[in-house]
């Protein structure tokens, strides 16, 4: 089973390299349904592997000068605060049984995976929607940037996800960055937030399998470099649309699995 999981880790990285998305969206279901980890451990492991792979990309972009640190701070500081509070304080306070009535029980895992499925549908929609014919003029709005940063931190803390597909549009439209620097800066934000969230909630993960996590991370990074190389040979837009429909199926599977089996 571990061998299959590690092969999937490489494939997840390849998808990230090809489409620029998909790390946590695929990692959480793999950890939950393939390895049968509880949702807290699955999202915690997702924070680690996505944080480490994003860190590799962030370092590359720092060297290339694609990080806008000053503007990013308005987004990253609120998101860092909320991800630490959410992962370290709020998540442990959520009861294992959220709701119970006449034999119907909504557990913590069911609730969080339901929210995760909604996030997947949003990610798929953002990949499928057509770009407006006229580009929206970027404007630097500190208040809006901070609010959206704080909201993203909550999502990442709860679900172990919420990556570039949410951050990049905000950095472009609200922070006024060009696309290249928005992508580089988003990797830095994801790395800092995800690893901080992992550390904040590490005490609730029990015995962490560090060897497995490092193997998974290394293979994801290898997959990312492979996928990045293949972008010159594959139509990335068609691939992104195909991936969007695929994760829509993943989201539907999660809802059926968690709610129709109650």
Torsion on CA atoms 149, 69, 217, 89, rounded to nearest 10: -40
Q: Say if residues 19 and 243 touch (Cβ distance below 8 Å).
A: yes
Quote the domain boundaries for residue 104. 2-259
| The pair of three-digit structure tokens given for residue 16, joined into one six-digit string | 């990230």
Summarised one tens digit per residue, pLDDT across range 134-162 is 455 556 678 888 898 899 899 988 888 86
C-alpha distances out from residue 111 to 38, 158, 183, Å = 13, 11, 31
Mutual angle of helices 142-159 and 39-63, in 10-degree steps:
130
Tell me the pLDDT band of 236, cut-offs 50, 70 and 90. Answer: low
* DSSP state, residue 132: P
| The pair of three-digit structure tokens given for residue 203, joined into one six-digit string | 């005490």
Q: What is the pTM of this model?
A: 0.85
Q: For the CA atoms of the chain, what is the radius of gyration?
A: 18
Q: How many domains does the chain have?
A: 1
How far apart are the C-alpha atoms of 193 and 60, rounded to whole Å? 18
- 68-77, 90-99, 127-136, 226-235: segment of lowest average pLDDT: 127-136
């Amino acid at each position: 089973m571990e061998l299959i999981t590690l092969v999937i880790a490489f494939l997840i990285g390849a998808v990230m390299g090809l489409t620029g998305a998909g790390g946590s969206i695929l990692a959480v279901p793999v950890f939950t349904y393939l390895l049968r980890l509880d949702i807290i451990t699955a999202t915690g492991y997702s924070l680690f592997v996505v944080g480490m792979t994003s860190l590799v990309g962030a370092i590359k972009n720092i060297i290339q000068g694609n990080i806008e640190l000053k503007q990013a701070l308005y987004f990253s500081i609120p998101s860092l605060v909320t991800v630490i509070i959410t992962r370290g304080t709020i998540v442990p306070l959520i009861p294992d049984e959220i709701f119970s009535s006449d034999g119907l029980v909504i557990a913590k895992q069911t609730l969080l995976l339901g929210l995760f499925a909604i996030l997947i549908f949003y990610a798929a929609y953002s990949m499928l929607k057509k770009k407006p014919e006229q580009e929206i003029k970027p404007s630097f709005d500190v208040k809006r940037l901070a609010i959206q940063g704080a909201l993203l931190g909550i999502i990442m803390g709860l679900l172990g996800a919420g990556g570039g597909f949410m951050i990049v549009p905000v950095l472009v439209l609200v922070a006024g960055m060009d696309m290249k620097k928005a992508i580089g800066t988003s990797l830095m934000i994801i790395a800092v937030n995800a690893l901080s969230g992992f550390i904040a909630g590490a005490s609730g993960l029990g015995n962490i399998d560090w060897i497995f996590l490092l193997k998974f991370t290394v293979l994801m990074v290898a997959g990312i470099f492979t996928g990045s190389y293949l972008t010159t040979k594959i139509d990335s837009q068609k691939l992104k649309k195909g991936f969007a429909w695929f994760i829509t199926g993943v989201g539907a599977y999660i809802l059926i699995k968690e709610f129709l089996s109650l």
